[in-house]
Amino acid sequence: MTAVGGDRLRTKRRSLKNESAIHFLYILPFLILLAIFAYLPLYGWIYAFFDYKPPIPLSRSPFVGFKWFASLVETQVKIDQLIQVIKNTFGISGLMLMFSWLPMIFAIFLNEIRAVRFRKAVQTLTTLPNFISWVLVYSIAFAMFSSEGMVNGLLRQLGAIDSPILFLQDSSHVWLTMWMWITWKSLGWSAIMYIAAITSIDESLYEAAYVDGATRMQVIWHVTLPSLLPTYFVLLVLQVANFLNNGLEQYFVFQNAFNKEYIQVLDLYVYNLAIGGGSYSVSVAISMMKSLISVALLFSVNQLSKWLRGEGVV
């Protein structure tokens, strides 16, 4: 190695380090934004360890340690409640995980439609339910499924039943019905991500497949699907991390005394606690736990992905 070559190597290493630093500087402003808006407010988790009652400021509030966390499992009745709530959350999140591939398949087969106008129309129109707020969805659901609603009216006209079926108060298929509503509402919209991904697939791959005489299904299996899998797995990992976060609105509008036992997911349970006059500190305690569990889940599944597929997502 000549002296010049050694120099070049050194400058290359130095410029590599510089490049690292420069790239970091590029993203630094954004990281700062993140630090301010996402990390700074986390000091608020302290409220979970105090008995905070506004307007008394935190500095004058009594410190209670892990009291709120313990209070969730104080008595047998509470433990039973909490277990049921967790079961509900698992049930619904579980169903959603089981069918997490639906948007992908939706996008793939949508893409298979040759008629451009029809395809575009379907794509646009299937996103409509996403824009209807849950409150309004419930109004529509009520209009359709109440004892005087359309469905019961139709069934009665056909002579299928004598007295109305109380769909909305039914407690036996709650998870399934909730899952169906979510799917109806979000399928078209979530498929957008996969539709975008499909358009980036190199056309030459398709050409090669056709030249080899592949049928449509084979093309999908060997070309389209594999290209979408990276996106799918990323979203899957995120979905697992979000296991405990079902959201509030949907379950809130559909809940009533009869289905409450099975519809009360964790988010709704927390809301009912807080709104019923529960203290602010309790809701912070619970949301803190959920955050920590989500992050833990994220890294666990990520590790799993590394073992199974050879690469992680995060």
Partner 1 sequence: MIKDRLFSRKAWIICLTILMVAAVVLAGCKSSSGGGGGGSGSSGSSGSNDYSEHLTITVFSNAANYQGEQTGWYGKLLKDKFNITLNILAPQVAGSQLYNTRVAGGDLGDILVIDNSQLEELIPAGMVLDLTDMIQNTKHLSQYVEKHFKPFNSSFTEVNPEGRIYAMPTFIAPTSPTTFSEELPYSSPILPWDYYQGIGAPKITDLDHLLEVLKTMRDQYPKAPNGLPTIPITLWKDWDGGSMENVRWISNWYGYEHPEGTTTIQLSASGDIMPLIDDRSNYKKVLQFLFKANQMGLVDPDSAAQDWNKVAEKLTNKQVLLLWYTWQRGFYNTIARGMNGDGYAAVPIADVHILQTSDAYYGNGRVFAIGSKAKNPQRIMDFLDWYVSPEGLRYTINGFEGFNYERTEDGKFRLTEIGQTAFQDNTPVPDEYGGGGYQDGQYKINSLIIGDFGTDPETGEFYNSNYWSHTLAANDTKLRQEWQQMFGTTNATEYYIKNNMIDIVPNINTSLGSDSSDIKNKRSQISDYVKDASWKMVFAKDQAEFDQLWSKMQTDVKGLGWDDVFAVDSERAQKIIRLRAEALANQ
Partner 2 sequence: MTALRRSTDVTDIIITILTYVLFSAFTFICVYPFYYIIINTISANDISARGEVIFWPKQVHFQNYIDIFKVPGLWNALMISISRTVLGTTLTVGASAFLGYMFTKDKIWMRKFWYRFTIITMFFNAGIIPWYLTMKTLGLTNNFLAYILPTIVAPFYIILVKTFVESTPKELQQAATIDGAGTLMIFWRIMLPICKPILATVAIFSAVDQWNAFQDTLLLVTDSNLYSLQFILYNYIKQASSLSTLVNLQNAGSTAIASLATEQTTTSIRMTVTIIVVAPIMFVYPIFQRFFVKGIMIGAVKG
Please answer whether residues 261 and 173 qualify as being in contact, where contact means their C-beta atoms are separated by less than 8 angstroms: no
Please answer whether residues 154 and 145 qualify as being in contact, where contact means their C-beta atoms are separated by less than 8 angstroms: no
Site for partner 1 in 91-120 (CB under 8 A): none
Residue 163, burial from CB neighbour count under 10 angstroms (0-12, 13-18, 19+): exposed
Residue 278 is a binding residue for partner 2 (CB under 8 A): no
Measured over the CA atoms of residue 129, residue 135, residue 138 and residue 142, the dihedral's sign is negative
Q: Which does 40 bind (CB under 5 to 8 A by kind): partner 1, partner 2, none?
A: partner 2
Nearer to partner 1, 56 or 121 (CB): 56
Q: How far apart are CA 245 and CA 23, in angstroms?
A: 34
Please answer whether residues 185 and 129 qualify as being in contact, where contact means their C-beta atoms are separated by less than 8 angstroms: yes
CB 109, min distance to partner 1, A: 30
Interface pick for partner 2 out of 206, 225, 249, 253 (rule CB under 8 A): 206
Please answer whether residues 297 and 241 qualify as being in contact, where contact means their C-beta atoms are separated by less than 8 angstroms: yes
Q: Which does 260 bind (CB under 5 to 8 A by kind): partner 2, partner 1, none?
A: partner 1
Q: How far apart are CA 41 and CA 50, in angstroms?
A: 16
Interface pick for partner 1 out of 166, 180, 295, 314 (rule CB under 8 A): 166
φ and ψ at 170, to 5 degrees?
A: -65, 135
Stated length of the chain: 314
Residues 270-289, mask of contacts with partner 1 (x by CB under 8 A): --xx-xxxxxxxx-------
Residue 306 is a binding residue for partner 2 (CB under 8 A): no
Structure tokens at 23: 């790239």
Residue 279 is a binding residue for partner 2 (CB under 8 A): no
Residue 239 is a binding residue for partner 2 (CB under 8 A): no
Site for partner 2 in 52-91 (CB under 8 A): 54
CB 41, min distance to partner 2, A: 4
Q: Which does 177 bind (CB under 5 to 8 A by kind): partner 1, partner 2, none?
A: none
Please answer whether residues 234 and 211 qualify as being in contact, where contact means their C-beta atoms are separated by less than 8 angstroms: no
Whose tokens are 């991390």? That residue is 241
Please answer whether residues 127 and 188 qualify as being in contact, where contact means their C-beta atoms are separated by less than 8 angstroms: yes
Residue 41 is a binding residue for partner 1 (CB under 8 A): no
Q: Which does 191 bind (CB under 5 to 8 A by kind): partner 2, partner 1, none?
A: none
Nearer to partner 1, 129 or 149 (CB): 149
Interface pick for partner 1 out of 55, 159, 213, 310 (rule CB under 8 A): 55
Please answer whether residues 123 and 136 qualify as being in contact, where contact means their C-beta atoms are separated by less than 8 angstroms: no
Whose tokens are 């008995």? That residue is 51
Site for partner 2 in 98-137 (CB under 8 A): 109-110, 112-113, 118, 120-129, 131-133, 135-137
Please name the residues in contact with 266: beta carbons below 8 A apart, sequence gap of 6 or more: 85, 86, 88, 89, 244, 245, 246, 286, 290
Residue 71 is a binding residue for partner 1 (CB under 8 A): yes
Site for partner 2 in 133-192 (CB under 8 A): 133, 135-137, 139-140, 143, 148-150, 184, 187-188, 192
Stretch that binds partner 2, among 1-9, 73-81, 251-259, 292-300 (CB under 8 A): 292-300
φ and ψ at 50, to 5 degrees?
A: -120, 170
Residue ranges in contact with partner 1 by CB under 8 A: 51, 53-57, 71, 75-78, 81, 142, 146-148, 164, 166, 168-169, 256-258, 260-261, 272-273, 275-282
